[in-house]
Amino acid sequence: MRSDHETSLFWYRMLFAQGYGPRTLFKIIQESEKLGYTVSDLCSLGKEEFSRLLSSIDKRPNLATFENFKKACEINPDSFQKLSNRGIKIVHPGHTFYPENLKQMQKAYVLSCYGDLNILKEPGIAIVGARNCAKTALELTARIVHELARNGVKNIISGLARGVDTKAHISAMEAGIYTTAVLSSGIQHFLNNHSIPFNTDKALVVSQFQPDQRWHRRNAMMRNELVCALAEAVIVVESGPRKDASGKQSGTFAAAETALRLSRPVYVVHPSFFEAPPRGNVELLKVKGIQVIIGDISQAIKNLVTSLKAEEGDDAPDQLKLPFQIH
């Protein structure tokens, strides 16, 4: 039987397996289990055995795919140990703290985590918004976080971008609840460069990328999917348009669409809260399935949390329900 250390080392190495994303890894693990392999056995497979495995999941085997996998399997374990020495843990499928929401997806995420892993078991609400946001958006973010905390929400999830995301994390810590920061860079790169005073008893930092990977726009979009997947619901505070005049896509708008695709409830702050209504918020109101936050936030949250708690005895799932639904 393989040790937990060996299993975690395998998954750590998979962060470096070029061409093997979460979806492909999920299929490989699923198929290998049918064949009686453990994850750690995969690095010992010969070219022919591995090619048959890839063929069985409809991934065309070739020398490059085999060599990329083998190259990842040969990553020096010292680099893994250095992460461990910094308090970074690898959470993967089969790990005690692998999030329940991710188990529902046909993807095998490898998460580098810094902080209290118990936070991964705490259902949470994602709050997303623009980087270059209005002052009103920051004030609304803080207000929403504190109202959520007052009404029993214990974990705020966001992407640690400047603007709304960072305000959500800071507001959660100020409110005395947990916060989960999902990175669009590697976790070691973050630890070497961040300036936010995280309380690791209340905050968890998560990355799905190679430890030293720098920020890239493509990573930010991938990060958004993980933010939404981890959350029970998503709140959009301020969004840019789906695409601006130059054709650039809004990450916040894309996150809202991703959340809907993942069957997460999406709530958008009504444009009337802003002196200059955000174009993205206006556009999102027209998207099927989007719900709206408008009116007296405090009272609406209180009323709806009360009603949701009253319903929990009627075969309600043992999960956090979104504590407000304001129209």
State pLDDT tens for residues 248-285.
889 999 999 999 999 988 889 999 989 999 999 999 99
- Between the alpha carbon of residue 64 and those of residues 31, 58, 67, the distances in Å are 21, 16, 5
pLDDT at 54: 83
Over residues 63-109, the pLDDT tens digits come to: 578 889 999 999 999 999 999 999 999 999 999 999 999 999 999 99
* Rounded distance between C-alpha atoms, residue 242 and residue 57, angstroms: 35
pLDDT at 309: 52
C-alpha 31, offset from chain centre: 26
Domain 122-311 has CATH 3.40.50.2300: no
State the distance between the two ends of the chain, measured CA to CA, in whole angstroms: 55
Over residues 1-50, the pLDDT tens digits come to: 356 889 999 999 999 999 899 999 999 999 888 888 888 789 998 888 88
Look at the pTM and tell me if it is higher than 0.85. yes
Tell the residue number behind the tokens 């959520």, with chain if given.
148
- What residues does each domain of the chain span? 4-112, 122-311
